[in-house]
Structure 1
Amino acid sequence: MSKMKVGIVFGGKSAEHEVSLQSAKNIVDAIDKTKYEVVLLGIDKQGKWHVNQPSSYLINEENPKLIELNRSNEQVAVVPGEENNQLVNLSDDNVLDQVDVVFPIVHGTLGEDGSIQGMLRIANLPFVGTDVLGSAVSMDKDIAKRLLKGAEIAVANGLTFRKHKQDELDFEQVKEALGLPLFIKPANQGSSVGVSKARNEEEFYQGMKDAFQYDQKVLVEQAIIGREIECAVLGNEAPIASLPGEVLPQTDFYSYESKYIDENGAELAAPAVLSEEQTKKVQEAAVEVFQTLECEGMARVDFFLQEDGTLVVNEVNTLPGFTKISMYPRLWDISGISYPDLIDRLITLGIERHERNNQLKNAVWE
């Protein structure tokens, strides 16, 4: 029986490029080689796609700070509208062997914001993870908060500012509305990229300046006092939730470095120390958030658990990290789904959704 070809797309132009390289490495190491043949499609920081070999696709692969994509001499393009030959090698114009399913693990901008998902839909390639709409709305923290509030799901109070209206920034008005300290976040970034904590006017304006380097839209939120609880969700029409975990930051907040570089930057309690009732409440809320934002395949839902038992949604990550210290695969492992089995389930879910979508009519007069 021939192996299924899985195209792992990784890297990308976003600020999370190096995180994506780490995630790809862990997926390649864990995937069942008796069942799947891996096709590595690395995207460099200029946006060019490369066909890579498993033996040489990364440089400094064991060092999160120095890890790099080893750009090959074989560049690839995706050709929409073709059947069984969507990937073409630009070096010799030869069609690559058909990929049965794509596993995009491109974190951040142009990866988990619906962009790559839309391209794969146009190319009629099955892919792992949330579809276009769920990816886009979950990535945009401003839009996600509006949808969740509309569904009467608790989120932190916040204000949204746009880059072309920076002259309207007024620290005193923001402080009066949200209090101190404040958290400043680019609306369309993940992994705490560009996020800062402001305790005073100077830190507020510096934080806004930093955040606007990463996005045209910035969200300012009130600080929520509570335990940082994360829950992994898996599935399409009938999603299930993992046991929850808890982030115990050793720094001021759970920063990019704490998540992906410094293994001592945060303690990850998996499972979280919660009562049976609290665990069930987190799991049910995670599934509700997942479905409200039209997610499919996978997502990690992050909450603040306040002292009075209230759950406040922090954010939703539709392409969570798969690094050595990432919470998503770890939560499924303690919930009874091993890393290889998790990859297998995600691939199956992606193919199932693709087949379901292809059953829809594309024309009125068919």
Structure 2
Amino acid sequence: MLADFPELKIDPVDFGRVAVLLGGDSAEREVSLQSGAAVLSALQSQGIDAFALDTAKADWQLQLSGINRVFNALHGRGGEDGLIQGLLDSLKIPYTGSGVLGSALGMDKLRCKMIWRQLDLPTPDWQEIVIDRQNFSTLEKQLEKMPLPVMIKPYCEGSSVGMSPVFNAVELKPALELAAKYTDHLLAESYIKGGEYTVSILGGRALPSVHMETPNKFYDYDAKYLANDTEYYCPGLDLETERLLGDIALRAFKAVGCSGWGRVDFMRDSQGNFWLLEVNTIPGMTSHSLVPMAAKSIGLDFPMLVKVILAATLTGNPNITTKDYGA
């Protein structure tokens, strides 16, 4: 498997000076700080000249002067939605992950689902909810034609921030109020009961899936980052089903303009059908994270994984594995 990643042979000096963007001021700041710290340690352990740069600091842009590339470990709005990507493009600084379009569409759950539906990719039914701050009571009326159960979520947050499952009418108002703390546009998505899966994308290939099981109502923020009773299975499926799911993940990833690395999340219903939930263009890189878990299953430890991701910044083609760095 490791022979598929010639990036591992790159001399650390070739990367030059690397800024690891982390922190920021989104709802996912704490997770980003953890991801960025792990990435920074992994880069430095391999002799790569890297330093941390918290974008919540007022003068952070001044420190971009003289750097050669960026490892983007920002999560959520402001770092994962195309804004930072646009800035770095204008400064002609190479960076990890998807570009402006893929980042923006990946963060925008509503438009992402619209594209998937147009391409006949399987995603649960949904309804957009627009908040009227002057008349909050209209929110529940907007959902009169959407049968319960549903998942209420902000249309542009990650890490399950602001998400709630709604199984009865009593749970609806608290779920809407929680999601409305983050944005004026919400998404009510048909609730799929079943197994939760994710497929990591790295250099144009799908890695083995991870199947997550949690005693919580769903794979929420607590289950992702805090709990110790979440169980993981990787690979999560038999070989034939892995290939099927990997193909859907790659098609969904490319459909919204994503590139480099990322993660595609699914639900599997009781009939065995897979349903696309969302794309994560900068997945977590913490001790509980899923991309490192999938990479480890094919022989890539965490430092190796980080180096492979960063290596995509050395070429305009995110699928850098097509370049041979020699034996």
Matched, 1:11 2:27: no
Partner amino acid, structure 2, of 1:213: K
- Equivalents in 1 of 2:309, 2:83: separation in Å? 20
Deviations along 1:297-344, one digit per CA (max 9) or x if unpaired, are 111101112233321101111000000010011111112222112111
Partner of 1:104: 72
Partner of 1:192: 160
Instruction: Indicate how the Cα distance of structure 1 residues 198 and 355 shifts in structure 2: closer, same or farther if over 3 A, else same.
Output: closer
Matched, 1:277 2:245: no
Aligned-residue Cα RMSD (Å) equals 2.0
Q: How many residues align?
A: 305
Residues 1-366 of structure 1 correspond to what in structure 2 (within 5 A)? 3=13, 4-31=16-43, 33-44=45-56, 48-49=57-58, 75-78=59-62, 87=63, 96=65, 98-164=66-132, 166-171=136-141, 174=143, 176-177=145-146, 179-235=147-203, 239-264=204-229, 266-272=230-236, 274-353=237-316
The normalised TM-score by structure 1 is 0.79
Instruction: Indicate how the Cα distance of structure 1 residues 164 and 306 shifts in structure 2: closer, same or farther if over 3 A, else same.
Output: same
Assess if the C-alpha contact under 8 Å between 2:179 and 2:186 holds in 1.
yes
Assess if the C-alpha contact under 8 Å between 1:233 and 1:299 holds in 2.
yes
The normalised TM-score by structure 2 is 0.88
> Secondary structure of 2:186's match?
strand
> Secondary structure of 1:130's match?
coil
- Equivalents in 1 of 2:143, 2:318: separation in Å? 48
> Structure 1 residues 159-168 or 285-294, which shifts more?
159-168
> Secondary structure of 2:199's match?
strand
- Equivalents in 1 of 2:17, 2:40: separation in Å? 13
Partner of 2:323: none
Instruction: Indicate how the Cα distance of structure 1 residues 355 and 267 shifts in structure 2: closer, same or farther if over 3 A, else same.
Output: closer
Residue 42 of structure 1: how far off its partner (Å):
1.2
Partner amino acid, structure 2, of 1:152: D
Larger proportion of strand: 1
Partner of 1:72: none
Assess if the C-alpha contact under 8 Å between 1:32 and 1:340 holds in 2.
no
Partner amino acid, structure 1, of 2:43: I
- Equivalents in 2 of 1:226, 1:349: separation in Å? 35
Assess if the C-alpha contact under 8 Å between 2:312 and 2:318 holds in 1.
no
- Equivalents in 1 of 2:187, 2:172: separation in Å? 12
Assess if the C-alpha contact under 8 Å between 1:182 and 1:223 holds in 2.
yes
- Equivalents in 2 of 1:248, 1:281: separation in Å? 21
Residue 167 of structure 1: how far off its partner (Å):
4.9
Assess if the C-alpha contact under 8 Å between 1:127 and 1:354 holds in 2.
no
Instruction: Indicate how the Cα distance of structure 1 residues 152 and 209 shifts in structure 2: closer, same or farther if over 3 A, else same.
Output: same
Residue 263 of structure 1: how far off its partner (Å):
2.6
> Secondary structure of 1:231's match?
strand
Partner of 2:322: none
Partner amino acid, structure 2, of 1:76: W
Assess if the C-alpha contact under 8 Å between 1:134 and 1:294 holds in 2.
yes
Assess if the C-alpha contact under 8 Å between 1:8 and 1:41 holds in 2.
yes
User: What are the ranges of 5 or more consecutive residues in structure 2 without an aligned counterpart?
Assistant: 1-10, 320-327
- Equivalents in 2 of 1:143, 1:2: separation in Å? 39
- Equivalents in 1 of 2:285, 2:194: separation in Å? 26
User: What are the ranges of 5 or more consecutive residues in structure 1 without an aligned counterpart?
Assistant: 50-74, 79-86, 89-95, 357-366
Bigger relative contact order (CA 8 A; separation at least 6): 2
Residue 123 of structure 1: how far off its partner (Å):
1.0
Deviations along 1:105-144, one digit per CA (max 9) or x if unpaired, are 1100111111111111111100000100000001011010
Partner amino acid, structure 1, of 2:302: Y
Radius of gyration: which is bigger? 1
Deviations along 1:242-271, one digit per CA (max 9) or x if unpaired, are 01110101211111121112232x212122
Instruction: Indicate how the Cα distance of structure 1 residues 207 and 128 shifts in structure 2: closer, same or farther if over 3 A, else same.
Output: same
> Secondary structure of 1:36's match?
coil
Instruction: Give the share of equivalent positions with the same residue, in percent.
Output: 30
- Equivalents in 1 of 2:90, 2:70: separation in Å? 13
Partner of 1:92: none
Partner of 2:7: none
